[in-house]
Amino acid sequence: MSLSFQSAQTRAARILRQGGIASPELDARVLLGTATGLTLESIIANGCEPLSASCEIRLDAYVSRRLAGEPVARIRGVREFYGRDFRIDPSTLDPRPDTETVVSAVLGILRDDEVANRNLRVLDLGTGSGCILISLLAELPQATGVGTDISPGALALAQGNAVSLGVSDRAKFVAANWFDGLTGNYDLVVSNPPYIPSSEIEELAPEVARHDPRTALDGGIDGLDAYRRMAAAAARFLRPGGALVVEIGCHQAQEVSDIFRAEGLVVSTDAVHEDLAGLPRCVSAKLPENVEVSPAERAKNMLGKS
């Protein structure tokens, strides 16, 4: 006899609880919705109805994957970020609420500067699913942006997310290793770079260490390699007065601030932004308005200006 929707959800939650999953009821409900393609409301309304054999097989497979440590968002292939649903796959990080701090920080900077209605140009380094760039373009309807990544799979996924979220006419995604091969000048450079020290990756939660791409986690010996590269090139790609806004590990605020200052960027006293847990999660820095960039470098970059 087939299980009902409610019985299937109850059984899945019990199995997850016995397997040590921290939120068994919530995970079971979400996985049942994924297996059936139904909303929570529809599942509740059809609670006594029999679950089809194909849906039961899918649900059992999803429960097994969750017991093996795969995050629910990866099983679903979707992660909500800044109020929008983004497709994710093994080629990208699973974007987490901490990264929304970057989007909020940028919007706060723009409100302070009263420039949110300008035709801003945004560069997102290591774009992954495109969640940061696409969220900013959705919030800033006159902005345009470029997202870079070394992963062809990530670039294809980000392009698809831009299409589904209605910003593809203002977003371009290109293969690049940080700034390599890029031209143009930008009002904003944003990034969630790899910042985990190489030796600490295996100590991360299994949901991260086993499922996020290592290239999106590994920040080198001290976790700071990407920040050094971004800081060293910032003056070539930021317009005077432009901002560099990056996610950081919660213990890296001082070190990242020092790296940025050493390259001539201005890091103000309120440049460290906290996440919802109250931990330092983002650092912003600005290129001085009167910065000196060689005419040759500026001319080279202007070739890429759209």
Number of CB atoms found within 10 A of residue 67's CB: 14
Which of 45-49, 114-118, 283-287, 294-298 is least confident?
Answer: 294-298
Q: Please state the separation of Cα 76 from the chain's center in Å.
A: 17
109 vs 101, residue with greater confidence: 101
Predicted confidence (pLDDT) at residue 116 exceeds the cutoff of 80: no
Which pLDDT value is given to residue 302? Answer: 43
For the stretch 251-297, pLDDT in tens is 999 999 999 999 999 999 999 999 999 999 999 999 998 766 544 45
**What integer is the mean pLDDT of 6-19?**
95
Q: Kindly report each contact of residues 286-294 with a partner whose C-beta sits within 8 Å and lies 24 or more positions away, as own/partner.
A: 286/241, 286/242, 286/243, 286/244, 287/234, 287/235, 287/238, 287/239, 287/240, 287/241, 287/242, 287/243, 287/244, 288/240, 288/241, 288/264, 289/240, 289/241, 290/240, 291/235, 291/240, 291/264, 293/235, 293/236
User: Could you tell me the pLDDT band of residue 119, with boundaries at 50, 70 and 90?
Assistant: confident
Alpha carbons 130 and 158: distance in angstroms, whole number: 5
Please, which pLDDT band fits residue 113 given cuts at 50, 70 and 90? Answer: low
Say yes or no to pLDDT of 84 above 60. Answer: yes
Q: pLDDT at position 45, please?
A: 86
Q: What is the pLDDT of residues 221-254, one digit of tens each?
A: 999 999 999 999 999 999 999 999 999 999 999 9
Quick one: average pLDDT of 25-39?
93
Predicted TM-score (pTM) of this structure: 0.89
pLDDT of residue 295: 43
Kind of pairing, strands 171-175 and 280-286?
unpaired
> Using CA atoms, how far apart are residues 157 and 91, in angstroms rounded to an integer?
9
Nearest to 72 by CA among 27, 35, 32, 23: 27
Q: Which is higher by pLDDT, 167 or 114?
A: 167
DSSP, collapsed to helix, strand or coil, labels residue 270 as: coil
